Amino acid sequence: MRTYFIAGNWKMNKTFGEVNTLLSQLKKMAAEVSGVDIAVCPPYPYLSLAVEILKDSDIAVGAQNMGWERSGAFTGEVSPDMVKDVGCTYVILGHSERRKFFKEDDELINKKIKLAIASHLLPIVCVGESLHERENGDTEQVVKTQIEGCLKGLQTDEIEKITVAYEPVWAIGTGKTATPEQAQQVHEMLRNWIKNNYNREIAETIRIQYGGSVKPDNAKELLSQKDIDGALVGGASLDAKSFIAIIKSCE
């Protein structure tokens, strides 16, 4: 039986003092929660602070991205070894905002995934279609193309270390949410793809999160779907009470 996994993607938000307050609140509230894996992904400057505050808790820390090389002349980039060294467990890769604003493609994301795993980080791999693609009926083809490109060449033991996050682009930060039925349909397709390209055991154990305007008032219905194993939460993870409410929806 899979354990739910709820991760908070803070994106480019919060200051030092706000991070301190939020994590202190979250640590206290999460102590009452059991049976759910939890992670927070603050901006790079606050990763060390997050690791320090959460060291005596069950909340893991992840980075929102990483570079594609271990070291070198890549001004402004952060290597997977740095992310691991600071104390991170997870790293988000392939988020739609990285694809849209920074032109990251499946080939680059694939390279990052392989390097993350080799660096003993656990990737959260994001896939999802735009509103135009959904309205054209291309959701399944777009998501399949992304997952095929992102996971190209990965072996069975590597796939076991991955979490997949289905994030319809049109539902990220818009207040729109895929219906539970729409989300379930794509999650089921992804699980079947993993079964057909790897094996049934991995398909049954790999966790597939939903992301896209997840809030306390819609989390329960989304998380009750057969193939939805958690959530990658954006805006609602910036408030301790709302994030914990989503986490408690798993219970």
What domains are there in the chain, each with its CATH number?
A: 4-248 (3.20.20.70)
Residue owning tokens 């818009």: 174
- Asked whether the predicted pLDDT for residue 215 surpasses 70, the reply is yes
Q: How far apart are CA 9 and CA 237, in angstroms?
A: 7
Residue owning tokens 């660096």: 119
pLDDT tens digits, residue range 8-53?
A: 999 999 999 999 999 999 999 999 999 999 999 999 999 999 999 9
Q: Which of 97, 104, 167, 187 is catalytic?
A: 167
- Asked whether the predicted pLDDT for residue 66 surpasses 80, the reply is yes
**Known catalytic membership, residue 132:** no
pLDDT tens digits, residue range 154-191?
A: 999 999 999 999 999 988 777 777 899 999 999 999 99
Angle between helices 106-118 and 139-150 (to 10 degrees): 40
Here the tokens at position 95 are 């988020």
Q: Which of 95, 104, 133, 187 is catalytic?
A: 95
Give the per-residue pLDDT at 1.
66
Q: What is the pLDDT of the chain when averaged over all its residues?
A: 96
Q: Rounded to two decimals, what is the model's pTM?
A: 0.97
Give the per-residue pLDDT at 148.
98
- Asked whether the predicted pLDDT for residue 223 surpasses 70, the reply is yes
DSSP secondary structure string, 15-60?
-HHHHHHHHHHHHHHHTT--SEEEEEE--GGGHHHHHHHTTTSSEE
- Asked whether the predicted pLDDT for residue 193 surpasses 70, the reply is yes
Percent of the chain whose pLDDT exceeds 70: 100
Percent of the chain whose pLDDT exceeds 90: 93
**Known catalytic membership, residue 167:** yes
Contacts of 9-13 with CB under 8 Å at 24 or more apart are: 9/41, 9/64, 9/92, 9/95, 9/211, 9/232, 9/233, 9/234, 9/237, 10/40, 10/41, 10/42, 10/43, 10/64, 10/237, 10/238, 11/43, 11/64, 11/97, 11/234, 12/43, 13/43, 13/238
Kindly state the average pLDDT of the residues 229-240. 98
